[in-house]
Amino acid sequence: MKMTLIQTFSDFSEKIQFNIPDFPLYVRTHDLAKFGYWGVCHWHTGVEFVIVLAGQMDFFVNGTVQHLNPEKHLFVNSQRMHYGFSRKQQNCQFIDLIVDPMLFNSESTSVSQALDQAFGLQAPDFLSLSSTNAISKNAVALVKQIRQLINDHNTSMLTLQATCMQLCANIAVELQGKNQQHISAQNNSDQAIWKMVDYIHRNFQKKITTLDIAGGAAMSRTKCFEAFKKSLNLTPNDYLTHFRLNQSTSLLSETHLPIKQISIQCGFSSVSYFCSIFKRYFGQTPLAYKNKHNLKNTKP
C-alpha cells in the first residue's frame, strides 16, 4: 500500500483525500515515523482532531507547541497552520480526523453564526483534550467511534454524519467563553514567513542558501532565522530539508526514477548525502523505501 503523506497546494493548504469522495470526512490511523518524524506545515478548512494511541509527539499550531501523549490529545481549529513532529525521532501512533464545515451545509443564519463563532478566525486556535475532562473524554470516544463507523461498510451515512456533527457540537460548546490565544489574521511577520516558504517551494530543486531564502521576503539572514523560529519552530535549513525529503518520498513511491535522479530533482547536494539524511529521518534507505512503497512495484 502506498504511504499516505501530506500533499499541499501552492498556498500551503492540504490536498485532503476524504475516505468517501463526496463526504467531507478524513479519518485514518498514522505513525509519525512514516512522515520522517516531521510533518509538512500546512492548513485546511476542516477542523482536526489528533488522538494519540501510543507514544508521544509535539504539535505546532500557529506559533504554539503542544506536547501530546495517550493522556493529552488535541483539537486544531479551521485554517490554522500546523504540523506534528518529534525532534528525538520517537514514533507516535495517532488517529487523525478532519471534518470539513461543509458537512453542516445549512442555510440557517443562526447556524452559520454559531459555526463562525466556534471555528472562525477569532476563535481559539486549538483546544487541549485531556483525559481528565469529561467533554474531552467524550470527544476522544466519538473520534474512535467515527473511525469504526467509517470502516464498517454497513454503516448508515446518516449515523456517520450525525456522529460527526455531535463531535463538532461538543467542541463548539467547550470553546465558548475561551479567549483566543493567537489571532490567525496575518500580520507583516506572517506574510514574510510565507513569502520565504513560497520561495523554498518554488526553488527547492536548486542550490539555495539562507540568504536566498531571506531575500524572498527582502529581510536579513538574522530576521529570517527569527521568523522561521517564531512561526514554524524550525530553522530555514530544517524546513528546506523536510520539504525536500517530503518531495522525494512522492517520487520514490510514484515513479521509476533512479535514486540519483530523485536526489538531483529534490535539490540534494549529492546522492550519498540524500541517502544518509533520508535514512536518518525514515529509518531506511531510499531504495528500501522505494521497494516497499512504490505502487508500480506492487502486484494487484
With respect to residue 6, please indicate whether it lies within any of the assigned structural domains: no
Q: From CA 14, how far away is CA 192, in angstroms rounded?
A: 20
More confident residue, 191 or 27: 27
Could you read off the pLDDT of 53-107 as tens digits, one per residue?
A: 999 999 988 878 899 999 999 999 998 889 998 888 889 999 999 999 888 877 8
Nearest to 142 by CA among 43, 34, 33, 25: 25
My answer on whether 64 and 155 are in the same domain is yes
Banded model confidence at residue 273, pLDDT cuts 50, 70, 90: very high
Read off the CATH number of the domain in which 289 is found.
Answer: 1.10.10.60
**Average pLDDT, stretch 13-20?**
86
| 119 burial via Cβ count (<10 Å: 0-12, 13-18, 19+) | buried
Q: What is the reported pLDDT for 186?
A: 44
With respect to residue 17, please indicate whether it lies within any of the assigned structural domains: no
Q: Would the pLDDT of 299 be above 50?
A: no
Please list the residues that pair with 61 across neighbouring strands.
64, 82
Read off the CATH number of the domain in which 130 is found.
Answer: 2.60.120.280
Q: From CA 78, how far away is CA 216, in angstroms rounded?
A: 27
Q: Would the pLDDT of 180 be above 70?
A: no
Q: From CA 72, how far away is CA 235, in angstroms rounded?
A: 27
Of 28-32, 78-82, 174-178, 285-289, give the lowest mean pLDDT range.
Answer: 174-178
| Single-letter amino acid, residue 162 | A
The last residue of a domain, from among 119, 151, 175: 175
Domain that holds residue 239: 188-297
Cα 231 to Cα 61, 235, 241, 247, 277, distances in angstroms: 9, 10, 17, 22, 24
With respect to residue 292, please indicate whether it lies within any of the assigned structural domains: yes
Could you read off the pLDDT of 40-58 as tens digits, one per residue?
A: 888 899 999 999 999 999 9
My answer on whether 133 and 241 are in the same domain is no
Q: What is the reported pLDDT for 1?
A: 29
With respect to residue 9, please indicate whether it lies within any of the assigned structural domains: no
Q: From CA 286, how far away is CA 294, in angstroms rounded?
A: 11
DSSP letter for 105, please: -
Contact between residue 100 and residue 165 where contact means Cβ atoms under 8 Å apart: no
- Number of domains the chain contains: 2
With respect to residue 262, please indicate whether it lies within any of the assigned structural domains: yes
My answer on whether 45 and 163 are in the same domain is yes
My answer on whether 253 and 123 are in the same domain is no
Q: Would the pLDDT of 2 be above 60?
A: no
The last residue of a domain, from among 151, 175, 199: 175
With respect to residue 3, please indicate whether it lies within any of the assigned structural domains: no
pTM: 0.76
Q: From CA 250, how far away is CA 6, in angstroms rounded?
A: 10
Cell digits for 68? 501530546
My answer on whether 32 and 168 are in the same domain is yes
My answer on whether 105 and 75 are in the same domain is yes
